[in-house]
């Protein structure tokens, strides 16, 4: 099997040829003289030829060294250039950010927040992916993702942006026909408009400061993979839905829906921004995280980050 080129040794060779000295090359590269010497010895043994004539007073390139120098110098220059470019992108606000978010939240709340960030940082390109499916950030190459959940244990690095309350809501017309439940057990005779990606599963779970916890499975009238798709049926009085406050707050304020079982709390979830593990975040990603944290902390439906 053919070995990979010894790119480090070729870069060191180019620096020695440029400076004319092991000591100067070592100083320029920030490595020790023995490291320089070993790299050149390794390269000459591999090539089975000498690259330098060495005497106690001076050092000069052999014919083989002269032939190799131009391309070796290019290897060194390209290596320095790529590191400089990557370092610049990681410490300055330029380059692409691949960001994922749930569909409804992304359309209604994230997308309207992005133009101001884009105006602040015109050299940053945003690549936004909206889906309610749980993506593999590492495999799909995302820099960050918004997750709205209780966030199970994960290797991802997470920052909590704000609390998201879940509310059991229905239209006034629904309650006029089906009555208002007084206890979660009453929901057994009601109709559910269900979001299938809810981590709680089929049962709706409630907590009460005196009565403890209670779970109830509610017969489904509609099942969707996007919570916003429940809104027309909800407004039409065709069932109850467990909706995040960021989707329901305007309809609540307008009286199109109303909450029920208000003395029973649904365990809240939270809006998080997560990033892949094991690597430093580029400056542009850090800037977006700070921007979104500030933006969503003051959203009218947002709860405290705690």
- Report pLDDT for 133: 84
Percent of the chain residues past pLDDT 90, beyond the cut: 45
Q: For the structural domain made of 7-91, what CATH number should be given?
A: 1.10.10.10
Does the pLDDT of residue 123 top 50, yes or no? Answer: yes
At 228-267, the pLDDT tens digits run: 899 999 999 999 999 999 999 999 999 999 999 999 988 8
Alpha-carbon separation of residue 155 from 10, 142, 151, 275 (angstroms): 39, 15, 11, 9
Instruction: Tell the CATH topology of 166-259.
Output: D-Maltodextrin-Binding Protein; domain 2 (3.40.190)
Q: What is the reported pLDDT for 91?
A: 62
Domain ranges (residues) in the chain: 7-91, 95-164+269-297, 166-259
Q: How many CB atoms lie within 10 A of CB 142?
A: 19
pTM (predicted TM-score): 0.65
DSSP state of 265: B
Query: Are the C-beta atoms of residues 17 and 29 closer than 8 Å to each other?
Result: no
Question: Is the confidence at residue 145, as pLDDT, over 90?
Answer: yes
Q: How confident is the model at residue 32 (pLDDT cuts 50, 70, 90)?
A: very high
CB atoms within 10 A of CB 300: 9
Provide the β-strand partners of residue 113.
Answer: none
pLDDT at 256: 96
Give the CATH number of domain 95-164+269-297.
Answer: 3.40.190.10
Using DSSP bridges, classify how beta strands 240-244 and 192-195 pair: parallel, antiparallel or unpaired. parallel
| Locus of tokens 């800037």 | 287
Q: Given this chain, do its domains 7-91 and 95-164+269-297 carry the same CATH topology?
A: no
Q: What is the mean pLDDT of residues 213-225?
A: 91
Q: Is the pLDDT of residue 1 over 60?
A: no
Per-residue model confidence (pLDDT) at position 291: 94
Percent with pLDDT over 70 in the chain: 91
**Structure confidence at residue 92 as a pLDDT band (50, 70, 90):** low
Strand partners, 195: 224
């Amino acid at each position: 099997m053919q070995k990979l080129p010894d790119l480090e040794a070729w870069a060191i060779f180019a620096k020695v040829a440029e400076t004319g000295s092991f000591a100067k090359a070592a100083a320029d590269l920030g490595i020790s003289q023995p490291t320089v010497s070993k790299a050149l010895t390794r390269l000459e043994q591999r090539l089975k030829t000498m690259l330098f004539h060495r005497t106690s007073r001076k050092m000069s390139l052999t014919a083989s060294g002269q032939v190799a120098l131009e391309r070796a110098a290019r290897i060194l220059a390209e290596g320095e250039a790529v590191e400089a470019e990557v370092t610049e992108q990681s410490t300055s606000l330029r380059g692409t950010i691949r960001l994922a978010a749930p569909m409804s939240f992304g359309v209604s709340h994230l997308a309207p927040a992005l133009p101001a960030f884009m105006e602040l940082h015109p050299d940053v390109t945003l690549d936004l992916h909206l889906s309610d499916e749980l993506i593999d950030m590492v495999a799909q190459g995302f820099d960050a993702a918004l997750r709205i959940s209780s966030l199970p244990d994960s290797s991802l690095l997470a920052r909590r942006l704000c609390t998201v309350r879940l509310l059991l809501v229905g239209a006034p017309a629904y309650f006029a026909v089906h009555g208002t439940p007084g206890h979660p057990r009453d929901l057994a005779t009601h109709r559910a408009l269900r979001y299938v990606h809810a981590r709680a599963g089929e049962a709706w779970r409630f907590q009460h400061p005196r009565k403890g916890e209670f779970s109830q499975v509610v017969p489904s009238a509609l099942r969707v993979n996007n919570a916003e798709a429940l809104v027309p049926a909800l407004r039409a009085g065709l069932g109850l839905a467990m909706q995040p406050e960021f989707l329901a707050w305007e309809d609540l304020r307008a009286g199109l829906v109303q909450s029920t079982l208000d003395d029973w709390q649904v365990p809240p979830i939270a809006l998080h921004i997560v990033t892949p593990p094991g690597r430093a975040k580029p400056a542009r990603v850090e800037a977006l995280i700070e921007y979104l944290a500030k933006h969503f902390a003051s959203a009218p439906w947002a709860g405290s980050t705690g």
